[in-house]
Amino acid sequence: MNRRIIVNILVAFLASISVILIINSAFKEKVSISDLSSKEALELIFIGIIINAVCILIDGFKLYMIASTLKGNIRYIDALESCFLYSFFSAITPSSMGGQPFQIYFLTKKGMKSETATSIIIFRTFEYLLIVLGIDVYALVFIIPKLSEWNIGKTMIALGFASSLLSTGFTWLAMIRPDIFKYIIASLKKIKGLKIFIERWEGKVYVWIDNLKLSANELLKNRRIVLIDFSLMLILILIYSYLLFLPIVGLTGLKINFLTFFSVQILLSSLASYIPTPGASGGIEAIFYTSFKASVLSSRFLLVGITIYRITTYYMIIAAGIPVVFKNRNLLFGGKGER
């Protein structure tokens, strides 16, 4: 396996574990092996792994459906591995930024045109951001004002919402008006010393941008497919929220309905996703812990519940992703792929 990936995996584990240890020390809360090996905890971990596996199967179907619409010649197993490795590389790269670029690279290696792969990933990113933005607006208007025990400052909420809004807007612009990059390239050419360098690849890039726009337009014309894909994305976001709701409510007895919890959790995740650690490791645990601590009777069991959530959605993804990366090592790090 590539040495850089091994380093990223180690850093991801250490960052997440370090924050849990810091929480243990600062707040005198401890998650022991016996806590995680209890019958209730093991049942929650098992259920979480099964649910997460189902989510990946659904996500693979989403990608396969969109790729088929654009005549991207990939198999369902290719789409499935692509989604799984997207989660893996998001988990081991700072602020989860490596997932989308790697997914484009992987799909291209599997024989899909790069502009088709790029338009698919931009669309998938946009639909996720748009749904999250809608949930954030709902949370800010209807949920947050009613929570007197809310522990995140207004500045952080404002920054998180502004980041979500800007990300959604930029992704939408990149999807429907990719030719904006032509203007950026033209502006860069005016910088002394860049003109000769840019002119070497300028023509090919302009053709690629035009093909990207055609691909995106072709996808957006299939309204039925877009509606189905949006619906499935919303279902996936709800399920991933339930993966945190289940252990926290089950272990702490937190009195909160799922809709309220879902809205708060998505807003918190929006804030945590910008933390510059691999997979936002550590930051997610800290933000969830400090935000829900005042609402539960046992903050120790809250930390246990958050740790179970991270085991099923983070550590298990990394552990299971290692053999998948190894299986595709020639495709990823060599010159030839496998069909």
| pLDDT tier for residue 300 given thresholds of 50, 70 and 90 | confident
Of all residues in the chain, the percent with pLDDT exceeding 90 is 27
Contact between 69 and 223 under an 8 Å Cβ cutoff? The reply is: no
Decide if 31 is inside a domain.
no
| pLDDT tier for residue 336 given thresholds of 50, 70 and 90 | very low
6: tokens are 């091994």
In this predicted model, what pLDDT tens digit does every residue of 318-330 receive, in sequence order?
888 888 888 887 7
- pTM here? 0.84
In this predicted model, what pLDDT tens digit does every residue of 197-233 receive, in sequence order?
888 888 888 888 888 888 888 888 999 999 999 999 9
In this predicted model, what pLDDT tens digit does every residue of 306-318 receive, in sequence order?
989 989 988 888 8
Decide if 39 is inside a domain.
no
Among 48-52, 73-77, 260-264, name the most confident range: 48-52
Decide if 32 is inside a domain.
no
Q: Which residue has the higher pLDDT, 149 or 97?
A: 97
Decide if 38 is inside a domain.
no
Report the C-alpha gap between 164 and 162 in whole angstroms: 5
Distances, alpha carbon 216 to alpha carbons 97, 171, 173, in Å: 22, 12, 11
Examine the pLDDT at 7 and tell me if it is beyond 80: no
The alpha helices in the chain, defined as continuous H runs, are 3-26, 33-36, 39-69, 76-91, 99-109, 114-138, 154-176, 180-189, 195-199, 202-221, 223-252, 258-272, 283-292, 299-310, 316-327, 329-333
Examine the pLDDT at 339 and tell me if it is beyond 50: no
Supply the pLDDT for residue 237.
94
Examine the pLDDT at 133 and tell me if it is beyond 70: yes
Average pLDDT, the chain: 82
Angle value at C-alpha 170, between 190 and 163, nearest 5 degrees: 115
Query: What is the extent of the structural domain holding 76?
Result: 3-24+44-333
| Rama region for 232: left / alpha / beta (φ>0; ψ in -120 to 50; rest) | alpha
Contact between 240 and 55 under an 8 Å Cβ cutoff? The reply is: yes
Match 């053709």 to its residue by tokens.
Answer: 207
Decide if 81 is inside a domain.
yes
Sequence-distant (≥ 6) Cβ neighbours of residue 112 within 8 angstroms: 67, 72, 73, 74
Decide if 37 is inside a domain.
no
Burial of residue 291 (number of CB atoms within 10 Å: 0-12, 13-18, 19+): buried
User: What sign has the CA pseudo-torsion 167, 171, 174, 177?
Assistant: negative
Sequence-distant (≥ 6) Cβ neighbours of residue 316 within 8 angstroms: 49, 52
Sequence-distant (≥ 6) Cβ neighbours of residue 301 within 8 angstroms: 251, 252
The dihedral over CA atoms of 59, 65, 67, 70, expressed in degrees to the nearest 10, equals: -150
Q: Which of 4-8, 203-207, 232-236, 297-301 has the lowest mean pLDDT?
A: 4-8
What's the total number of domains in the chain? Answer: 1
Decide if 165 is inside a domain.
yes
Supply the pLDDT for residue 8.
66
Supply the pLDDT for residue 251.
92
Decide if 36 is inside a domain.
no
- Taking residue 30's Cβ as centre, other Cβ atoms within 10 Å add up to 14
Report the C-alpha gap between 296 and 293 in whole angstroms: 6
